[in-house]
Amino acid sequence: MENKDLLLSVVVCTYNREAYVLAALNSIVAQDFDKSKYELILVNNNSPDNTAALCENFGKDISGLQYRYVVEYEPGVSQARNRGVKEAQAPILVFIDDDGWAEPNLLSVIYKFYQEHPDAAATGGRVFPDFQSKRPRWMSHFLVPLTSSLDMGDSVKVFKRRYFPMGANMSFKTEAFKEYGMFHPGLGRMNLNLAGAEEKDLFYRIMNVGKKVYYVPQAVVHHAVPDSRLTYSFFKRQAVGIGFSEMYRAKNISTGEYILSLFLECLKWGATFFLSLFYLITHRPRKAWRIIVFRWYVSSGLLGLNKKM
């Protein structure tokens, strides 16, 4: 049910992130946006850790904060996000991850952008990685997006096909979900697996009917990258998950879409070959090796040869 006094609904979906979720919530509380004009919704995806104890009564002593805590028992990030959509009462819906934190002007920037760009169906902003230790030597510029980071420069632009916002920093007109559907419940991370493509699937549906999804560089979120996400095991599972999720997404649309995904993967192998050769020539063998291994595991997932994600 829409609340005409609200301008924005902010949704944080969480699963087993007791170490980070309060930072995400507090970053929204610290916004320079009038608290009477937005609501903050925490969707707990039935976390078995200490999330409920930390979040159930969050903000009860913060004057003016409109906060709601809900539990979504169906597992999966798509289920949690869809629950957030159903709970939202404002015309604009903002998502940030439970292991991210927003710059203090995030909500002001997003709301102003929609006022100035009424043709926007959705937006995505910058996401900067915050490494627990440091960026590893094997992580080239082309693998940094594995940390959920996004930086497309300082200028506002429209996302084109094959490019889309990161889930750590995205927003929608709430009506978009009525027109183009919800997050696909068969896609996205569920419990501890590393599947994905739920954001890609939704943004493509919006783009494919000619609606605009904007990159808004002034909207900034920081995203935690613990050392556990930089292990070889996590890297392998993440790459397989990317490929497997794309197979599922494409086949769910049509055989033609899957063939297109396979064709694009072949092109990416060509680019990978030249990039790895460049890194070898410039004496950076770790970067060369990792980019080849990444492509290999993505391809194995895309072909359905490896499902260990």
Domain locations along the chain: 8-229, 232-302
Confidence class for position 4, pLDDT limits 50, 70, 90: confident
> What is the per-residue pLDDT for 165?
96
Confidence class for position 1, pLDDT limits 50, 70, 90: low
pLDDT at 68 over 90: yes
166, HSE (Cβ side, Cα atoms, 13 Å): 25
Range list of β-strands (E), the chain: 8-14, 38-44, 67-71, 92-97, 100-102, 120-131, 157-158, 169-173, 212-225
Cα–Cα distance for residue pair 58/23, rounded to 1 Å = 12
Confidence class for position 119, pLDDT limits 50, 70, 90: very high
Q: What is the mean pLDDT of the chain?
A: 95
> What is the per-residue pLDDT for 191?
76
Cα–Cα distance for residue pair 283/298, rounded to 1 Å = 25
pLDDT at 308 over 80: no
Domain spanning 8-229, CATH architecture = Alpha-Beta Complex (3.90)
pLDDT digits (tens, 9 = 90+) for 48-62: 999 999 999 898 889
Radius of gyration, alpha carbons of the chain: 19
Per the CB < 8 A criterion, the answer to whether 70 and 96 are in contact is: no
> What is the per-residue pLDDT for 3?
82
> What is the per-residue pLDDT for 194?
82
